[in-house]
Amino acid sequence: MTQETLTHYRACHLCEAICGLEIKTKGAEILSIRGDKDDPMSKGFICPKATAIADIHNDPDRLRKPVKKVDGEWLEIDWDEAINLVAEKLVSIQDNHGGDAVGFYAGNPGVHNYGNITHGTQLRRALKTRNHFSATSLDQLPHQLVAQQMFGHQFFIPIPDIDRTEFMVILGGNPLASNGSIMTVPNAPKRLKDIQQRGGQLVVIDPRRSETAEIADQHHFIRPGTDAWLLMAMINLMFQENWVQSSKLTAITEGMAEVEQAAKPFTLELAAEQTGISADQIRQLTHDLAHQDRAVLYGRMGVSVQEFGALCQWAIQVINILIGALDEEGGALLSSPAFAYVRKGTPAAGHFNLFQSRVSGLPEFAGELPAVSMAEEILTPGDGQIKAMVTIAGNPIISSANADEIDRAFATLDFYVAFDFYINATTRHADVILPPTSPLEHDHYDIAFHRLAVRNSSRYNPAVFEREEGSLHDWEIFNAVTAKIQELRGKEYRPIPAPDVVVAAGIESDVYGPNQNPDMALTMEKIKAAPHGIDLGPLKTGLADRIANESGLIKAAPEMYLGDLPRLLASQKSNDQDELLLIGRRHVRSNNSWMHNYHRLVKGPKRWQLMMHPQDLAKLGIEDEAEVKVESRVGQITTVVQATDEVMPGVVSLPHGWGHQRKGIKMAIASQQQGANCNVLTDDKFIDKLSGNAALNGVPVRVTAA
């Protein structure tokens, strides 16, 4: 029988942009992957990552069945044996060593899969350990923390209204490479250029002249880790010059007098000295932000994963309030998703510092401890020591600070189970690996990124292929392991229904549901009947009705932020001409450590070199393209250096996610790549002390000829 060519529509799950795809198949073969022109968000745009979905599905290195390690070798086992073994081991370790003897680590791919979001928490609840870690504290923790502290909910994150803004300032973000981050923005190149086309301006502040900086109207180099000086000086100047814009939020915002007082020590001159941006440039930038209609300030990884990341994200929110950008068209607005709409009473609002890590006393956030404390919690003996780990779509030996220490820690575990379909740098230490189905073998609804999108929409993605016989979806694995654990403890577990059932119930009871919004009457059936997705319109004002604080007020001056300003003042540094500071960088073909086993994404020019300014190379007598050794307090790597004025003097840049050469990794293409792991250099003691977030940028290093 001749096989029919079929056309499928779904959203790409490989980054935050969730671009719409048109996938043509014939039998089990993927014929093409193109942009879906009828997707209301992306309108046909895709980046090079989308085509790699075919490579993921067909990857011979992807595990299809559970495996366990026997005498150092991997053996396939059936699901019943795997689930029983995992449950029995985890329960036994908790019975013998206490509940906190099991630790969890969740990596960022999990948030791209709704079965993990809807069902993964059940396993965590069943094990009742406080040792939870995730990529949140290696990334966006400062965003969620300030949302919880100022607005009352960790997911109350205002999104730049990029489609209507006239003046956008980006600190430490590179949307042309990331496709937006904590800002779901498909076709970022067009959307940013559209700002300029309608007469607006784009300003980028970054230690590197990134892809986004290249198209900006202005780019200012800034010394890594000094953004908080710039932001506090801007706040101080606005008060001094009476540039503060009154807005409809003035009456529901408390604490601005305290902010004004706290900002007084931060002068333009001091900010210029610390940042390397002149006082005149800071004044002009502040003036333009305060006097431009439809302006917005946005800061991302470069300002989040640094020594003062939490202060930076707080100051950004304060500035957006001061310039009248918050809850205004063209400024920063809350999204209105069909599922998980945030308002007072929405579950999982978050909390901070209810308990601390056992060894270093670092604060929890929303029930998770900072990832930088994970290795010491495994390696340090005593009550509460982690003896077993569960990882979910995570690779912290590549992704977390002080990678060699994490490698050493995972090698000492009594038991380790990974929910993953790769044997990577971390899961090679596992005793059992439970692989879920391929992304194209299960349905999907983007829970996380509709919440962060620059335009409201809803889209359900049916599976493209029938799953292979004997395989399980991630949510089925979570249900099965959780049920077995509860059975061993003499408890009953009622499995949660399929993710689409969970999401359907949420949509129909929320703001677009038939009871709340009869005109819209959005249901899962209606969404499923729209293969290209449903456009729910631009971002909307209305923040006052959604503030989740009990008082109903925006808290502009949480004590934790004001109390951290003396630490910032004490961090003043002279301009050390010999100091080199390490920063990361992103590429549109690379999304963290899980993007390097696909030929389409690693082919072409090398992208893993150490970038270094020619002046710095000349001082050290090192030639362009030479092999160099890079050392930090905790580790060293060898790589190739690239001379470029793309980075400012005193700064070196190494991309994240590379370094797949460790013994035991079963990722053939990734292991052949020469790139080094930058997190061998990042320091688990160099952190944002306020939030516990990792400081992966601004790490002091030394570079020598290899």
Q: What is the pLDDT of residue 2?
A: 61
- The position carrying tokens 């799953």 is 467
Query: Could you tell me if 321 and 150 are in contact, meaning their C-beta atoms sit under 8 angstroms apart?
Result: no
560 phi and psi angles, rounded to 5 deg: -60, -35
Q: What is the pLDDT of residue 484?
A: 98
- The position carrying tokens 């056309």 is 7
Q: Is beta strand 651-653 parallel, antiparallel or unpaired with respect to 610-612?
A: antiparallel
Q: What is the pLDDT of residue 617?
A: 98
Going 318 to 320 to 323 to 329, the CA torsion angle's sign is: negative
Q: How far apart are alpha carbons 397 and 376 in whole angstroms?
A: 14
Kindly list the structural domains of the chain, giving each domain's residue range(s) and its CATH number in brackets, ordered by start. 5-58 (3.30.200.210), 67-129+387-450+460-496 (3.40.50.740), 141-338+545-567 (3.40.228.10), 576-705 (2.40.40.20)
Vertex 511: Cα angle to 366 and 154 (nearest 5): 15
Q: How far apart are alpha carbons 143 and 123 in whole angstroms?
A: 26
Low-confidence ranges of the chain (pLDDT < 70): 1-2, 576-577
Vertex 699: Cα angle to 697 and 700 (nearest 5): 150
pLDDT tens profile 351-385: 999 999 999 999 999 999 999 999 999 999 999 99
Task: Tell me the HSE value of 79 on the side-chain side, using a 13 A CA sphere.
Answer: 18
What angle do the packed helices 309-322 and 227-240 form, to 10 degrees? 30
667 phi and psi angles, rounded to 5 deg: -130, 95
What angle do the packed helices 227-240 and 279-291 form, to 10 degrees? 60
Q: pTM here?
A: 0.97
Q: How far apart are alpha carbons 110 and 694 in whole angstroms?
A: 20
DSSP 544: G
Beta bridge partners of 628: 639, 705
Residues in the chain: 706
pLDDT tens profile 298-335: 999 999 999 999 999 999 999 999 999 999 999 999 99
What is the enclosing helix (H) or strand (E) of 396? helix 396-399
- The position carrying tokens 């917005």 is 296
DSSP 532: T
| Strand positions, DSSP E, 435-553 | 444-445, 455-458, 460-461, 534-538
Q: What is the pLDDT of residue 51?
A: 87
Vertex 139: Cα angle to 608 and 478 (nearest 5): 105
